[in-house]
Amino acid sequence: MTPTPPELYQLIRHFEGLRYRAYLCPAGVWTCGFGSTGPDIGPGTVWTLQQATDRMRADARKFVVGTLKLCPGLIGLRLAAIADFAYNLGLTRLKGSTLRRRVLAGEWESVCDELAKWVRGGGRVLPGLVLRRLAEIRLIRQALAG
């Protein structure tokens, strides 16, 4: 079993932030903790730090497994970057994307170009998504250099 890269946890914590009370994200989805979503989260959901951390770790693992099913062979920083994309936008978006086709082809500069396109939420460019995609691109480039 491939371990969850620590860089994925870092990206999630940094870009999702921590909210103890459920809120509607820019896409209109009920969210709590470190960006967790699901049928168990809605108005009135309140978590402790431990609950948020445990859920983030479980969700990150789920997205690592899902990402590896869609993009076999990813490891380390590349896995962290693509799994973070999936954590943020969902495995369905990754599955049908040109981004995935570029990953599968090993076209890493094109992967970076594709990541940079995914910066919209609610129909507008969101500065936080721009920064998140840049962080994912940095990890890809760091993997290429090392």
Residue 11: the pLDDT is 98
Cα–Cα distance, 33 to 90 (Å, whole number): 17
pLDDT over 90 at 2, yes or no: no
The per-type count for the chain, helices as H runs and strands as E runs, is 7, 5
Residue 37 lies in a domain: yes
Residue 101: the pLDDT is 98
Residue 1: the pLDDT is 75
Q: What is the dihedral of CA 79, 81, 84, 85, to 10 degrees?
A: -110
Domains in the chain, number? 1
Which residues is 46 bridged to in the sheet?
21
Residue 1 lies in a domain: no
Cα–Cα distance, 119 to 111 (Å, whole number): 14
Residue 105: the pLDDT is 98
Given 16, 109, 114, 136, which residue is catalytic? 16
Token pair of 13 as six digits? 């914590």
107 is catalytic: no
Residue 33 lies in a domain: yes
Cα–Cα distance, 129 to 89 (Å, whole number): 10
Residue 119 lies in a domain: yes
Strands 30-33 and 19-24: antiparallel
Determine phi and psi for 67, rounding to 5 degrees. -65, -40
Residue 64: CA count within 13 A, CB half-sphere = 22
Range 76-100 average pLDDT = 97
Range 73-82 average pLDDT = 97
Residue 5: pLDDT band (50, 70, 90) is very high
Token pair of 110 as six digits? 């094109």
Span 114-129, pLDDT tens digits: 999 999 987 889 999 9
Span 19-68, pLDDT tens digits: 999 999 877 899 999 999 999 999 999 999 999 999 999 999 999 999 99
Token pair of 96 as six digits? 């049908």
Domain range for residue 109?
6-145
Is the CB of residue 52 less than 8 Å from the CB of residue 146? no
Assign residue 124 the CATH number of its domain.
1.10.530.40
